[in-house]
A and B are shown apart, each in its own frame.
Chain A
Amino acid sequence: EEQLVESGGGLVQPGGSLRLSCAASRFSFSSYWMSWVRQAPGKGLEWVANINQDGSEKYYVDSVKGRFTISRDNAKNSLFLQMNSLRAEDTAVYYCASDRTNYYDTSGLRYWGQGTLVTVSS
């Protein structure tokens, strides 16, 4: 069964930094765009960023542009999210998810990790 496992969450002060990781297994990681999606406590889902297969294209929601950086290492089947200048409103569970295989693929975010909690508080 396809698996994604996030790590790296925790408590950080406002203005601080954190790097999330997502380890993929049992599917062809390098064939997929990958996304980060977050969910604030008791709230809905918010797409954060995605990255194409070779890392040459990256897109972000406006609220994290200039602060977060998505990256990947296909040799290690891993996805990352570097989060800088963190704010209280970034507090959420962060999920990694497999995304499209090409621009015309609209089959949704198929595989999801269990999430990692990021808490930004002093």
Chain B
Amino acid sequence: EIVMTQSPATLSVSPGERATLSCRASQSVSSNLVWYQQKPGQAPRLLIYGASTRATGIPARFSGSGSGTEFTLTISSLQSEDFAVYYCQHYSNWPPYTFGQGTKLEIK
């Protein structure tokens, strides 16, 4: 089973600044990496797939990069609606799919 590890657990950033979230896989997942955003009381929302492709309707300030075992989600200029929990998930060597434990992005 592939273990996904996200860092940091909590990230405090001011609105308008850049946020960088990390995700590491215990073995290579190639580019088969997905990012989700989850706000309190809501279902997760697909942000990025294929490590770097934005899902339909996702603003350009969200970008993903990486391959193999190291991945990054960058939010270029934080808006108030971006403060949420972010999860990475691998889509390789399944089952099972596994998620990272999440990074909570909070307002500084």
Interface residues of A (CB under 8 A from B): 35, 37, 44-47, 50, 59-62, 95, 100, 106-110, 112-115
Neighbour of A47 across the interface among B32, B53, B98, CB < 8 A: B98
- Are the CB atoms of B49 and A47 closer together than 8 Å? no
Chain B: interface residue total (CB-CB under 8 A):
27
Residue of B nearest to A61 (CB): B96
Residues of A within 8 A of B42 (CB): 114
Known: A113-B43, A115-B43. A108 touches B91 (CB 8 A): yes
Task: Tell me which of B55, B95, B99 contacts A46 (CB under 8 A).
Answer: B99
* Residues of chain A lying within 8 A (CB to CB) of residue B49: 106-108
A-B pairs under 8 A by CB, number: 66
Provide the bound-state CA to CA distance between A35 and B99, in Å.
Answer: 14
Does B15 touch A at the CB level, under 8 Å? no
Minimum Cβ distance to chain A for residue B60 (Å) = 18
Give the chain A neighbours of B34 by CB distance below 8 A: 106-109
Given A44-B87, A47-B96, A47-B98, A109 and B46 touching (CB < 8 A)?
yes
A108: chain B residues within 8 A (beta carbon)? 34, 36, 46, 49, 55, 89, 91
Q: Given the complex, which residues of B lie within 8 Å of A50, measured CB to CB?
A: 95, 97
Kindly identify which residue among B53, B95, B101 contacts A44, using a CB–CB cutoff of 8 Å. Answer: B101
Q: Which of B66-108 contact A (CB under 8 A)?
A: 87, 89, 91-92, 94-102
Q: A44-B87, A108-B89, A109-B34 are in contact. Are A59 and B96 (CB under 8 A)?
A: yes
- Nearest chain A CB to B88 CB, angstrom units: 10
Min CB distance A57 to B, Å, is 10
B44 touches A (CB below 8 Å): yes
With CB as the reference atom, state the residue of chain A lying closest to B56. A110
